[in-house]
Structure 1
Amino acid sequence: MNHPVGNARVPVDSAFAKAPAAAGALRVLIADDHALMRRGLALVIKLRFPGTTVIEAGSLADAVRCAQEESDLSAVLFDLRMGDTDGLPGVEAMLRVLDGVPLVVISGTLDASLISACIRAGARGFLPKGSEAEALDHALPVVLGGGIYAPLPRGAMASPSPPAPPPPGILDSLTARQREILALLLEGRSNKEIARSLGILEGTIKVHLRSVMQRLGVHNRTQLALLVSRAGPPA
């Protein structure tokens, strides 16, 4: 990343950084009111994370609608200033509908107080628009793994702390149905596809996944898939 800042990456799982597909196919929402910026980001993400589905939104209103309609989002890249939003209010409005899906703010302004405010509001990352494409190689695995990715002032030192391996038998307390759902999740299936495969309602899949995430202490389906893949697939 050729930019006069360092990068805070806390925590990051190196295996996931090298092979993000191990946590299932990604679904990334890009919200930016400049079509060329959206298309450029989409192209970079698809090249660097093969198999990723990218959804585009040109405004806060469109992004909110997409988030409400897409139940399987992995992450959101969110422009800080669009035609119908400017600054933190838009970030906060987006976070309210994301239900734990990590949001990375994209901005042409690199200001320490702005970065801090975005992270305090609940954003999981911050990417300056002047970043090199390689920044996404680091940012997405970090936020998908439950960490925070943000620029540091020149000379500052980051202290990554990889998560501890899952304890043995962490999946033993799950029901047979929950294990079936997790096995299909690891194949990259969407909630709708899992429901169709098991012959149950999509809403039931959401209830099961929410229960499992609460039990295992993760916040979204990508973190869940990563933890399960590190613990070993359910029997």
Structure 2
Amino acid sequence: MKKNENQYGYGMVVDDHPLVAHGITEFLTRHPMLSHAMNVQSTAAVWQTIADQSEPAIILVDYWIGDESTSEFIQELRRRCPQIRVLGISGDARRQEITEALQRCGAHGFYGKNESAQRLFQAVQVLLSGAEWFTPEKAPTPRAVPRDIPVSARNLGLTERQGQTLSLVLEGKSNKQIAQELGLSEHTIKEYVSAIFIRLGVSNRTQLIQAMHGRSVQ
């Protein structure tokens, strides 16, 4: 693509699902406000790329990389590279919770992977123009908000500590954040999370959130 004065620089996609990362990268490559786009599959690779090349104009980062949220990475990115625009992306059904978590850690917007390509185009354009993008694709029709059904850790076959850990995982907190809140080691929290996965028959946090949809741990 020929460079022009309306381009802000290049875009970067951070997603550990290669097919998704490739598709979004191809889409960004055609965005008129970007010179080109690339993708990496880990947050560590972001720092290496910035060191080897230059800062991108915008980074699209999946809220979940493996079993960890990228909230701490986004906070560090905003601290070290304040000029980079950050768009959180996710296929997680709990849009409101993810949006609030992204706003707390300093991201400039959120795009749901189930939204249209046109919405992604608009989100990138808005962020590069200096504004934020947290508006849902369609405003929900006002209605009573259903309450989650409370379940105890014991009913789920979990210990009290595992139940506390599960509750915090459902809030989108990382193992490190949970360890700090419960006053335990990060290693212990990792063991709790693994035990929760086994007990509830899931293999990652996204599946866990889906399995617990409509339920809250008491």
Q: TM-score range, shorter-chain basis?
A: 0.5 to 0.7
8 Å CA contact retained: 1:45, 1:52: no
Which of these residues, 31, 34, 40, is aligned with residue 57 of structure 1? 40
**Quick one: distance in 1 between partners of 2:41 and 2:105?**
22
**Cα 1:145–1:50 shift into 2, 3 Å:** closer
Match of 1:149 in 2: 133
**Quick one: distance in 2 between partners of 1:48 and 1:126?**
18
**Quick one: distance in 1 between partners of 2:118 and 2:60?**
15
What value does the CA root-mean-square deviation take over the aligned residues? 2.5
Which of these residues, 100, 113, 117, is aligned with residue 129 of structure 1? 113
In the TM superposition, what is the alpha-carbon distance from 1:42 to its structure 2 partner?
A: 1.1
**Cα 1:51–1:112 shift into 2, 3 Å:** closer
Letter of the 1:154 counterpart = A
Match of 1:105 in 2: 88
In the TM superposition, what is the alpha-carbon distance from 1:114 to its structure 2 partner?
A: 2.3
Match of 2:205 in 1: none
Which of these residues, 51, 61, 65, is aligned with residue 82 of structure 1? 65
Larger-gyration structure (1/2): 2
**Quick one: distance in 1 between partners of 2:46 and 2:68?**
11
Sequence identity (%) = 21
Match of 2:21 in 1: 38
8 Å CA contact retained: 1:80, 1:87: yes
Letter of the 1:119 counterpart = Q
**Quick one: distance in 1 between partners of 2:121 and 2:9?**
14
> 3-state SS of the aligned residue for 1:149?
coil
**Quick one: distance in 1 between partners of 2:35 and 2:67?**
27
Larger deviation, residues 144-153 vs 91-100: 91-100
8 Å CA contact retained: 2:57, 2:85: yes
8 Å CA contact retained: 1:45, 1:136: no
**Quick one: distance in 2 between partners of 1:136 and 1:61?**
25
Match of 1:114 in 2: 98
Specify every segment of 5 or more residues in structure 1 that has no aligned partner in the other structure, as ranges. 1-19, 157-235
Count of paired positions:
137
Letter of the 2:134 counterpart = A
Greater RCO between the two (CA within 8 Å, min separation 6)?
1
Specify every segment of 5 or more residues in structure 2 that has no aligned partner in the other structure, as ranges. 142-218
Matches within 5 A, 1:1-235: 22-24=5-7, 26-49=9-32, 52-83=35-66, 85-109=68-92, 110-152=94-136, 154-155=139-140
**Cα 1:71–1:116 shift into 2, 3 Å:** same
**Cα 1:71–1:91 shift into 2, 3 Å:** same
In the TM superposition, what is the alpha-carbon distance from 1:50 to its structure 2 partner?
A: 7.6
**Segments ≥4 residues shifted beyond 4 Å:** none
> 3-state SS of the aligned residue for 1:151?
coil
